[in-house]
Amino acid sequence: MGTGITELAKLLKDRENKNDYSPMFGQIIELPNLKIRVGSKIILTRQHIRKSCVYYKERDRYGRFIHLNREVVLLPYAEGQKFVLVGVVYR
């Protein structure tokens, strides 16, 4: 897990001189225990998500999670330690 934290620190460092609230993108890779992959090595869990504008556990009529494997938009805050899950990307 150390490499994921290092990778997250690098991503946040690269954004250091930019707007503190610029969005990041990830992919929901596991539900109902939320896991979001950001980049190739970072995995965020429910503990990293402070608020969500999306009910990410929503299911279809067959009981499948409709947002599983979807791209999501995350807004970092609290010096990159927490995130707001802003939305799901539909193409």
pLDDT digits (tens, 9 = 90+) for 42-87: 999 999 999 999 999 999 999 999 999 999 999 988 776 899 999 9
The structural domains of the chain, ordered by start, are 2-88 (2.40.50)
Cα(85)–Cα(55) distance, integer angstroms: 10
This prediction has a pTM of: 0.76
Q: What is the pLDDT of residue 29?
A: 98
Average pLDDT (23-49) is: 94
Q: Classify residue 11 as left (phi > 0), alpha (psi -120 to 50) or beta.
A: alpha
Q: What is the pLDDT of residue 19?
A: 54
Which residue type does 84 have? V
| Per-residue tokens: 68 | 């599983």
